[in-house]
């Protein structure tokens, strides 16, 4: 599974500040989604949503849900896979390989959208001393974005330096 949303922070920073690691939603997609879709003729994200999504039995049982997404959902630097974190976890007796972007890649993706919860997420991680703002600006600049979006993200980053 590839986890790309804010909860991907748990793989690289399990002791992240409480507000950065608490969400009832995990954005994820199967690492073999393209092959699976070709074989089954249906979108993997739809199957993930049906089995593990909002208001599913899984959600009601475990108190969180998995939002099925795909590899185009998050705006990540093109070389994020070179820095990815891989964890193997036991899931009811089966080994599951979890792939997540590195912390600065996760935050760079959040800065591309920059809604209020993304601002809070970034600010909390910065205030706790987990972010290198220079590296983060480089990662944002590496993402193919409209100039206005890039500049808004960089302005926000620079506001954190003060």
What confidence tens digit (pLDDT) does each residue in 31-70 have? 998 898 899 998 999 999 999 999 999 999 999 999 999 9
Q: What is the mean pLDDT of residues 15-23?
A: 89
Dihedral sign of CA atoms 133, 66, 17, 102 in order: negative
In this structure, the strands spanning 65-68 and 25-29 are parallel
| Residues 16 and 125: beta-carbon distance below 8 Å | yes
- The 3-class SS string of 7-40 reads HHHHHHCCCCCHHHCCCCEEEEECCCHHHHHHHH
Mean pLDDT of 17-28: 91
Determine what percent of the chain is predicted with pLDDT higher than 70: 100
Does residue 88 surpass a pLDDT of 90? Answer: yes
**pLDDT tens digits for range 143-160:** 999 999 999 999 999 999
CA distance from start to end of the chain: 38
pTM: 0.91
Interatomic CA distance for residues 92 and 150, integer angstroms: 42
User: Tokens at residue 75, please?
Assistant: 């705006």
Look up tokens 């036991």; give the residue. 90
Residue 162 pLDDT exceeds 80: no
Is 6 in contact with 110 (CB distance < 8 Å)? yes
């Amino acid at each position: 599974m590839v986890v790309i949303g804010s909860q991907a922070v748990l793989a690289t920073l399990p002791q992240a500040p409480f507000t950065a690691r608490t969400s009832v939603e995990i954005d994820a997609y199967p690492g073999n989604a393209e092959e699976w879709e070709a074989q089954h003729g249906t979108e993997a994200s739809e199957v993930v949503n049906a089995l593990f999504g909002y208001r599913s039995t899984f959600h009601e049982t475990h108190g969180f849900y998995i939002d099925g997404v795909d590899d185009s959902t998050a705006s990540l630097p093109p070389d994020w896979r070179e820095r990815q974190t891989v964890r193997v976890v036991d899931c009811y007796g089966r080994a599951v390989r979890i792939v997540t972007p590195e912390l600065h890649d996760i935050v760079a993706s959040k800065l591309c959208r920059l809604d209020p919860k993304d601002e809070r997420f970034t600010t909390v991680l910065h205030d706790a001393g987990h972010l290198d703002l220079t590296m983060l600006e480089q990662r944002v600049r590496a993402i193919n974005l409209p100039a206005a979006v890039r500049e808004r993200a960089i302005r926000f980053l620079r506001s954190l330096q003060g």
